[in-house]
């Protein structure tokens, strides 16, 4: 099995786990197929996932495009001789977020997708244009209970007489943590086994170990054309170990992956790369923290200097409160107040 890209994959993903790592798995159309099969199995037979193509998201606004955890896949209809296809839009959520914003973001996405499609088909006559339906999926991996996205009519709470003017559309909702483990793994798909381990990411050591050992054993049965899926699945599990388990557990869990996998050397490289990237990330975070602390210290010093210049006798309690401020914006506001204050009583500290 080739190991030439393992380090690059781990290094790029480790900084943005879990967003980029989950999105990378869903770059594989077969992983998307598995997800659709869980939620709407009646659709799978109509879609040619093998010919699915990841879509360029450059048409999205900067605010939407900066999200690392969104996937857009265009999948043709089976046995279609025309350009008929469906856009599968997956929003990956790891924490509770506003249900209203979720539905609105989906609606904005859908509008942008159709707007892009309109521009691409603009040279055709109206009768020749073939618009593609959109299958929206919310992929929720958080531990807290979250209801499936509500209809916009419920979010807006409009009077019944106005409900017909509110857009309506179906959304598939995959709540990973609340699906039965057997449901995830019964097909034997590697993504199901990855998600089974994800369900136990915060569990006690025996439960996580058992799920991890079972998953790696099953995933390692893959071979041939599935080598890429095997590598991506194992790489995700290594990243999960480094990001979700304690430092004292990591070596033992990595050893389980090595023992159960077909290529111990490749797993070793994955683990080493993840560990090195975490160290580098910690150094970078330390540098950024140091920069922020330096800015705060400079702001405090500027406020105190101006305060002593404006008012020669500043009570010690005021000085202590200023020294305790750890917000750059609060210090900026206070600096402006000191500039225009006629007395210490004018300050709001």
Q: Is position 278 within any domain?
A: no
pLDDT at 143 over 90: no
For the stretch 182-222, pLDDT in tens is: 999 999 999 999 999 999 999 999 999 999 999 999 999 87
Q: Please state, in angstroms and as integers, the Cα–Cα distance from residue 180 to each residue in 91, 163, 183, following that order.
A: 21, 36, 5
In DSSP terms, 73 is beta-bridged to 54, 88
* pLDDT score at 8: 41
166 and 36 in one domain? Answer: yes
Q: Higher-confidence residue: 27 or 100?
A: 27
For the stretch 241-286, pLDDT in tens is: 998 999 899 999 999 999 999 889 889 999 988 887 777 666 555 5
* pLDDT score at 187: 93
3-state SS assignment for residue 119: helix
Q: Please state, in angstroms and as integers, the Cα–Cα distance from residue 234 to each residue in 52, 126, 130, 177, 273, following that order.
A: 23, 48, 40, 20, 13
Q: 290: pLDDT confidence band, cut at 50, 70 and 90?
A: low
Q: Which residues lie closer than 8 Å to 83 by C-beta, 6 or more apart?
A: 76, 130
In DSSP terms, 145 is beta-bridged to none
Report how many domains make up the chain: 3
130 and 51 in one domain? Answer: yes
pLDDT at 291 over 80: no
pLDDT at 306 over 70: yes
Q: Is position 204 within any domain?
A: yes
Q: Is position 158 within any domain?
A: yes
Q: Is position 284 within any domain?
A: no
3-state SS assignment for residue 327: coil
* pLDDT score at 29: 93
Last residue in a domain, options 210, 241, 262? 262
236 and 163 in one domain? Answer: no
- Gyration radius of the chain's alpha carbons: 26
CB distance 14 to 274 below 8 Å: yes
Q: Is position 335 within any domain?
A: yes
Which range has the top average pLDDT, 52-61, 133-142, 320-329? 133-142
Q: 107: pLDDT confidence band, cut at 50, 70 and 90?
A: confident
- Identify whether 304 is preceded by a cis peptide bond (ω within 30 of 0): no
Report DSSP letters for 231-295, one per residue: HHHHHHHHHHHHHHS-HHHHHHHHHHHHHHSS-HHHHHHHHHHHHHHHHHHHHHHHHHHHHHHHH
301 and 238 in one domain? Answer: no
239 and 156 in one domain? Answer: no
158 half-sphere exposure, CB direction, 13 A CA radius:
12
pLDDT at 61 over 60: no
Of the listed ranges 3-12, 121-130, 163-172, 317-326, the one predicted with least confidence: 3-12
* pLDDT score at 37: 96
Cβ atoms < 10 Å from Cβ of 86:
19
CB distance 7 to 238 below 8 Å: no
124 and 3 in one domain? Answer: yes
Q: 115: pLDDT confidence band, cut at 50, 70 and 90?
A: confident
Of the listed ranges 60-64, 120-124, 148-152, 188-192, the one predicted with least confidence: 60-64
209 and 141 in one domain? Answer: no
The whole-number average pLDDT for the span 139-160 is 81
In 3D space, the residue among 41, 27, 74 whose CA is nearest the CA of residue 55 turns out to be 74
In 3D space, the residue among 222, 216, 220, 260 whose CA is nearest the CA of residue 240 turns out to be 216
Last residue in a domain, options 146, 161, 178? 178
107 and 22 in one domain? Answer: yes
The whole-number average pLDDT for the span 231-240 is 92
Kindly state the tokens that stand for 292.
């922020």
Burial of 315 (0-12, 13-18, 19+ CB in 10 A): exposed
**Domain with 118 in it:** 1-178
Residues of the chain with pLDDT > 90, as a percent, come to 34
109 and 37 in one domain? Answer: yes
pLDDT at 2 over 90: no
* pLDDT score at 31: 94
pLDDT at 3 over 50: no
Q: Is position 70 within any domain?
A: yes
Q: Please state, in angstroms and as integers, the Cα–Cα distance from residue 67 to each residue in 9, 23, 62, 149, following that order.
A: 19, 10, 9, 19
- Nearest 5°: the CA angle 153, 88, 23 is 110
Average pLDDT over the chain reads 81
pLDDT at 124 over 70: no
* pLDDT score at 116: 83
Q: Which residues lie closer than 8 Å to 340 by C-beta, 6 or more apart?
A: 346
The whole-number average pLDDT for the span 12-40 is 81
Q: Higher-confidence residue: 349 or 240?
A: 240
Q: Is position 279 within any domain?
A: no
Q: Where are any strands of DSSP class E within the chain?
A: 53-54, 70-76, 85-93, 134-140, 172-175
């Amino acid at each position: 099995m080739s190991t030439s890209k393992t380090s690059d994959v781990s290094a790029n993903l480790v900084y943005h786990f879990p967003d980029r790592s989950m999105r990378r798995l869903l770059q594989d159309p077969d992983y998307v197929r598995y997800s659709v099969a869980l939620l709407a199995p009646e659709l799978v037979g109509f879609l040619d996932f093998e010919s699915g193509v990841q879509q360029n998201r450059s048409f999205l606004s900067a605010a939407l495009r900066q999200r690392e955890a969104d996937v857009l896949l265009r999948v043709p209809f089976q046995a279609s001789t025309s350009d008929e296809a469906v856009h599968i839009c997956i929003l990956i959520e790891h924490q509770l977020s506003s249900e209203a914003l979720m539905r609105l973001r989906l609606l904005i996405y859908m509008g942008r997708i159709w707007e892009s499609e309109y521009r691409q088909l603009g040279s055709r006559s109206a009768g020749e244009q073939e618009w593609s339906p959109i299958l929206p999926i919310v992929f929720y991996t958080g531990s807290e209970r979250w209801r499936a996205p509500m209809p916009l009519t419920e979010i807006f709470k409009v009077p019944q007489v106005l409900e017909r003017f509110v857009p309506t559309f179906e959304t598939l909702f995959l709540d990973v943590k609340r699906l039965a483990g057997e449901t995830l793994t019964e097909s034997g798909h590697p993504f199901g086994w990855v998600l089974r381990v994800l369900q136990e990411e915060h569990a006690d050591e025996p439960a996580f170990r058992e799920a991890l050992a079972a998953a790696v054993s099953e995933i390692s049965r893959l071979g041939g054309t599935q080598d890429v899926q095997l590598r991506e699945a194992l790489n995700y599990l290594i990243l999960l170990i480094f990001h979700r388990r304690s430092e004292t557990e990591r070596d033992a869990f990595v050893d389980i992956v090595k023992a159960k996998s077909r290529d111990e050397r490749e797993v070793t490289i994955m683990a080493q790369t993840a560990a090195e990237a975490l160290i580098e990330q910690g150094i970078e975070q330390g540098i950024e923290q140091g920069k922020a602390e330096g800015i705060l210290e400079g702001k405090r010093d500027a406020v105190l200097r101006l305060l002593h210049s404006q008012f020669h006798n500043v009570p010690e309690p005021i000085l202590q409160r200023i020294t305790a401020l750890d917000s750059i914006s609060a210090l900026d506001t206070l600096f402006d107040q000191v500039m225009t204050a006629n007395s210490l009583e004018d300050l709001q500290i």
